């Protein structure tokens, strides 16, 4: 156990959350661990969220609200970090909620030397079903923290922002921020940047965060080739930086697997959206020259991925021609002629 009761800052970006904000805030203010500050960052929300933030702030002196012009969730989190005064911090989204032991779970995992604590996550589906993802209990010291990331990756939850407790001094000393120009996997990029300074990481085999699965809006919009590739390339760059100073064959394999999984996304986007033949050719050609040898690290799941995998065995021109034909037929089958 940690030898004191550290102050935990909880950063909550708020945008168009008038229907969920009260439930979220209530779940935070009813924590069994009470030494917290809740930082509500109103990201220029056009609904009643700013007023709700102010009302919540009046009711509990552990809450402070910051109103900023709309700049996106990453900017809001960065502003929240700048204004956090806790010893440690975590992130909660305003459309989610937590159970009463969320912060206590983190504190239970703290020691004087722990720089990062993980817990699990509960994914809440539209129909109310809950999928619990809970890591095994673990302690990872400096030489094997990359093994810890791989252990967490087994449960597909390293990339979540809400299941980690960070040491504030590391974030501020090294000016670690969320990339405001990337809106895919920016949480994972932030975590990987932070991992460069972690000397001890702990995982707790509990899950107290309820993550509402989004079925509309930005999360379902077909992202462009450029958006997906920029995020994938930055994830890869940060992971490679970690591998310069710490050795882990397993993390290296996981990094390649994650990149190829993302690469299938950006290559398929070339054919789902309107790109020219030459744009598609150049992108396929570049991928084959740089990454085709990594294909074995990822097993394709969807039909689109399986078709792409087969065609990547051939020249860029053949790949493009047959992928174009495949998606043309697919669109006709689904009544899309654009």
Query: 32-86, pLDDT tens digit by residue?
Result: 999 999 999 999 999 999 999 999 999 999 999 999 999 999 999 999 999 999 9
CB neighbourhood size of 89 (10 A): 23
DSSP-assigned states of every residue in 31-64: -SS--EEEEEEEES-SSSHHHHHHHHHHH-TTEE
Q: Is residue 120 classed as helix, strand or coil in its secondary structure? A: strand
pLDDT of residue 337: 55
Residue pair 114/36 in contact (Cβ under 8 Å)? The answer is: no
Q: What does DSSP assign to residue 174?
A: T
CA angle 68, 71, 74 (to 5 degrees): 105
Of 104, 89, 86, 112, the residue nearest 207 (C-alpha): 104
Do residues 252 and 241 make contact, with C-beta atoms less than 8 angstroms apart?
A: no
- Condensed to tens digits (0 to 9), the pLDDT of residues 268-315 reads 999 999 999 999 999 999 999 999 999 999 999 999 999 999 999 999
Per-residue pLDDT for 94 more than 60?
A: yes
Q: What is the pLDDT of residues 204-232, one digit of tens each?
A: 999 999 999 876 544 557 899 999 999 99
Question: What does the pLDDT read at residue 1?
Answer: 43
For residue 1, give the 3-state DSSP assignment: coil
| Model pTM score | 0.93
Strands (E), 144-273: 164-167, 200-212
**Residue 218 confidence (pLDDT):** 44
Q: Is the dihedral of CA 322, 328, 331, 332 positive or negative?
A: negative
Closest CA to 116 of 187, 171, 188, 166: 166
- H or E element in which residue 119 lies: strand 116-124
Rounded Cα–Cα distance for residues 51 and 270 (Å): 43
pLDDT tier at 334, thresholds 50, 70, 90 = confident
C-beta separation of 66 from 41 below 8 A: yes
Structure tokens at 217: 């809006």
Section 17-32 average pLDDT: 98
Q: What average pLDDT score do residues 94-119 get?
A: 97
Q: What is the mean pLDDT of residues 116-141?
A: 94
Q: How many CB atoms lie within 10 A of CB 274?
A: 8
And the tokens for 205?
Answer: 């085999």
Q: Is the pLDDT of residue 93 over 60?
A: yes
Provide the pLDDT for residue 300: 96
What per-residue confidence (pLDDT) applies to 220?
54
Q: d(Cα 238, Cα 193) in Å, to the nearest integer?
A: 6
- SS3 at position 251: helix
Distances (CA, A) of 67 to 15, 42, 122: 11, 5, 30
Q: State how far the alpha carbon of 52 is from the alpha carbons of 25, 94, 245, in Å.
A: 10, 12, 46
pLDDT in tens, 146-174: 999 999 988 888 999 999 999 999 999 99
Report the distance separating Cα 14 and Cα 57, nearest Å.
14
pLDDT in tens, 249-263: 999 999 999 999 999
Task: Indicate the average pLDDT of the chain.
Answer: 94
What pLDDT shows up at residue 336? 66
């Amino acid at each position: 156990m940690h030898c004191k009761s550290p102050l935990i800052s909880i950063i909550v970006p708020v945008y168009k959350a008038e229907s969920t904000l009260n439930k979220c805030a209530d779940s935070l203010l009813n924590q069994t661990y009470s030494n917290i500050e809740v930082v509500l960052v109103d990201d220029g929300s056009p609904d009643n969220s700013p007023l709700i933030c102010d009302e919540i702030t009046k009711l509990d002196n552990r809450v402070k609200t910051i109103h900023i012009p709309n700049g996106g969730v990453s900017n809001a989190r960065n502003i929240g970090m700048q204004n956090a005064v806790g010893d440690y911090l975590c992130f909660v989204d305003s459309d989610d909620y937590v159970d009463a032991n969320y912060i206590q779970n983190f504190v239970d995992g703290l020691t004087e030397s722990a720089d990062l604590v993980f817990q699990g996550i509960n994914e809440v589906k539209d129909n109310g079903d809950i999928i619990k993802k809970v890591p095994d209990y673990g302690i990872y010291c400096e030489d094997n923290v990359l093994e810890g990331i791989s252990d967490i990756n087994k449960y597909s939850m390293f990339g979540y922002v809400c299941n980690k407790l960070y040491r504030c001094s590391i974030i501020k000393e090294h000016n670690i921020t969320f990339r405001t120009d990337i809106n895919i996997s920016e949480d994972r990029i932030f975590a990987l940047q932070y991992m460069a300074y972690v000397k001890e990481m702990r995982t707790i085999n509990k899950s107290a965060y309820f993550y509402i699965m989004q079925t509309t809006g930005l999360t379902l919009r077909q992202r462009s080739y450029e958006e997906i590739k920029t995020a994938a390339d930055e994830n890869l760059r940060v992971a490679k930086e970690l591998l310069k100073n710490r050795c882990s064959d397993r993390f290296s394999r996981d990094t390649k697997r994650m990149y190829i999984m993302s690469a299938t996304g950006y290559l398929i986007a070339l054919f789902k959206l309107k790109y020219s033949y030459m744009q598609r050719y150049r992108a396929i050609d570049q991928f084959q020259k740089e990454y085709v040898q990594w294909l074995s690290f990822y097993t394709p799941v969807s039909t689109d991925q399986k078709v792409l995998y087969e065609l990547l065995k051939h020249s860029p021109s053949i790949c493009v021609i047959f992928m174009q034909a495949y998606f043309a037929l697919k669109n006709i089958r689904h009544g899309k002629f654009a």
